Amino acid sequence: MSGDSSPGQVAGADEVLANLMEAVPSVEAGRSVGDRVIRVPARDLARVAGAARALGFEMCSDLTVVDYLGKRRVRFEVVVNLLSLQHNRRLRVLVPVPEGDPEVPSLVPVYPGANFLEREAYDMFGIRFAGHPDLTRILMPDDWAGHPLRRDFDVGAVPVQVKDAPQVR
C-alpha cells in the first residue's frame, strides 16, 4: 500500500548501518515489516546511541517499552526510535531487558529529549534508566504502587488519588 511510510531508503543508508555495526560490534541488524531495526544488549545502549548520534541521527523521536510477559523468555523490550533528518531515515533500536534486573543506561546525556520518555517508561513499566537526572513518576501520582502498563497489572477499579475521603451522603 502507498500509505506504507517505510523510511526513505536513500543511497548510503546501509553504509550508516555498517558504520554503526563497526562502532559497536554487538549490534544485530534486522528487518521488521519493512523497517530497519537493530537489537543491542542493554549494556551497549548508550554506546549505540552515541555512535548513532555521531552518524547523523539527530533526534530520539520515541522511546517506549513492550512487556512480552509469557510470550518471550526475556520479558521487557525497550524500543528506541531514532530519527535522522539529514539522511531522512529512521532507526529502531530494540533492547531486551530481563525482569529480574530491569535497568538500561539512560539516553539523556546523548539525547536530552529522552528525559520525559524515559520517565514515562519508568512510570509505566518500572524500567530503571541508569544516569537519568530525575527518574520520577511522570503520569501517575507519586505515591502510586505498581507500574500500570505491565501485562500483569490488572485493568479494573483502583482507589483514586484522594484517599480517606469522608463519605458524602
Partner 1 sequence: MMAEPTSTTDIWVSGTEAPEVSEWMVSGTDEGAQEMERHETTERSVEQRGSRVVDDWVVDDTVDDEERMIVNMGPQHPSTHGVLRLNIELEGEIVRRVKPIIGYLHTGMEKTAETLTFLQGGTNVTRMDYLAPLHNELCYSLAVEKLLGVEIPPRAQAIRVLMTELNRVSSHLVATATNGMDIGALSMMMYGFRERELVLAFFEKTTGLRMNHNYIRPGGVAADLPDGWEEDVAEILERIPRALRDYEDLLKENPIWLGRTRGVGIITADECLAYGVTGPTLRAAGVPWDLRKAQPYSGIEAYEFDVVTGSRGDVYDRYRVRIGEIHQSLRIIEQAAGAMPRGDYKTGDRKVSPPPRQRIDESMEALIHHFKIYTEGFKVPAGETYLAIEGPRGELGCYLVSDGSGAPLRMHTRAPSFSNLQALPIMMADSLVADTVACIASLDPVMGDVDR
Judged by beta carbon, residue 47 or residue 92, the one nearer partner 1 is 92
Footprint on residues 27-46 left by partner 1 (CB under 8 A):
32-35
Q: What is the DSSP letter of 146?
A: S
| Joined grid coordinates for residue 71 | 510470550
DSSP string, 19-52: HHHHHSTT-EEEEETTEEEEE--GGGHHHHHHHH
- Binder of partner 1 out of 27, 90, 93, 118 (CB under 8 A): 90
Strand intervals (E) in the chain = 28-32, 35-39, 59-67, 76-84, 89-97, 103-105, 128-130
- For partner 1, the closer of residues 24 and 125 by Cβ is 125
Is 88 a binding residue for partner 1 by CB under 8 A? The answer is: yes
Residue choice 17, 40, 52, 67 for contact with partner 1 (CB under 8 A):
67
Report the alpha-carbon distance of residue 160 to residue 127 in Å, rounded: 24
Phi/psi at 19 (nearest 5 deg)?
Answer: -60, -40
Of the candidates 53, 44, 166, the residue with the CA atom closest to the CA atom of residue 109: 53
Tell me if 145 contacts partner 1 by CB under 8 A.
no
Among 17, 81, 95, 105, binds partner 1 (CB under 8 A): 81
Decide if residue 50 touches partner 1 (CB under 8 A): no
Asked if 85 interacts with partner 1 (CB under 8 A), we say yes
Query: Which residues make up the interface to partner 1 (CB under 8 A)?
Result: 1-5, 7-8, 32-35, 58-62, 64, 66-68, 71, 79, 81, 83, 85, 88, 90, 92, 108-117, 120, 124, 133-134, 137-143, 148-149, 151, 153, 155, 161-166
